[in-house]
């Protein structure tokens, strides 16, 4: 066997040179390279998992939105009916509020209208009485000449101001419009009643 060993041309004192520490292999169970590779692998895996989670969340959100849009499309007619019912309800609420305001008004409406009817001149026709906030507008016509109609209206307004059933709730009663109607001796007029501010 010594003949075979000599064929390798080994010196009789051959051994591993332990003086060159940098060339020696690592002798620890878990090396530094392994730890670095493991850390980088974990970071890469976390990034991949995060990207997959975001992609999954986007797909889920898209499916949910599509489902809700489909449901809204199916219920569009019902939603329109509900909105129409709400509008009708709001109109009825406004009518009830107006009726409540008229009933609990500072000016009793029936008494006011009766007194206007009692005090009006014979040739006066009342066409419209409307209320807007603190103003009451009375529109009508007189079958008189311009001069006589003007005197009659002035006297009527003065009588309304002095009337204990009509005058007290109002701050002012004035003739706000007076014009000749094109047909015959008819004068159109407008009286404005301004309520006193609430105390």
* 8 Å CB contact between 144 and 185: yes
Indicate if 180 and 118 belong to the same structural domain.
Answer: yes
Does residue 137 sit in the same domain as residue 173?
Answer: yes
Strand partners, 174: 192
Total domain count for the chain? Answer: 3
Q: Are residues 190 and 119 in the same domain?
A: yes
Q: Are 65 and 88 in a shared domain?
A: no
Same domain for 86 and 153: no
Say if residue 18 is in the same domain as residue 38: yes
Q: What pLDDT does 199 receive?
A: 62
Does position 2 have pLDDT exceeding 70, yes or no?
no
Q: Are 135 and 193 in contact (CB under 8 A)?
A: yes
Q: What's the confidence (pLDDT) of residue 102?
A: 67
Domain that holds residue 95: 75-104
Is this structure's pTM higher than 0.75? no
- Do residues 113 and 191 share a domain? yes
What pLDDT is attached to residue 170? Answer: 81
Q: Residue 60: its pLDDT value, please?
A: 95
Provide the H-helix boundaries in 8-108.
32-74, 76-103
Mean pLDDT for 134-156 is 84
């Amino acid at each position: 066997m010594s003949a075979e060993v000599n064929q390798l041309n080994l010196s009789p004192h051959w051994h591993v040179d332990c003086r060159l520490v940098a060339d020696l292999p690592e002798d620890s169970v878990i090396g530094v390279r392994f730890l670095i590779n493991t850390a980088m692998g974990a970071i890469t895996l976390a990034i991949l998992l995060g990207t997959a989670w975001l992609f999954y969340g986007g797909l889920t959100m898209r499916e949910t939105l599509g489902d809700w849009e489909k449901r809204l499309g199916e219920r569009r007619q019902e939603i329109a009916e509900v909105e129409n019912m709400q509008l009708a309800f709001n109109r009825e609420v406004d009518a009830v509020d107006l009726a409540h305001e008229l009933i609990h008004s500072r000016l009793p409406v029936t008494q006011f209208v009766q007194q206007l009817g009692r005090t009006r001149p014979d040739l006066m026709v009342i066409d419209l009485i409307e209320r807007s906030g603190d103003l009451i507008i009375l529109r009508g016509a007189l079958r008189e000449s311009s001069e006589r109609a003007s005197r009659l209206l002035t006297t009527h307004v003065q009588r309304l101001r002095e009337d204990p059933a009509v005058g007290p709730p109002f701050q002012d009663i004035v003739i706000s419009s007076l014009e000749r109607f094109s047909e015959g001796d008819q004068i159109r007029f407008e009286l404005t009643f301004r309520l006193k501010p609430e105390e």
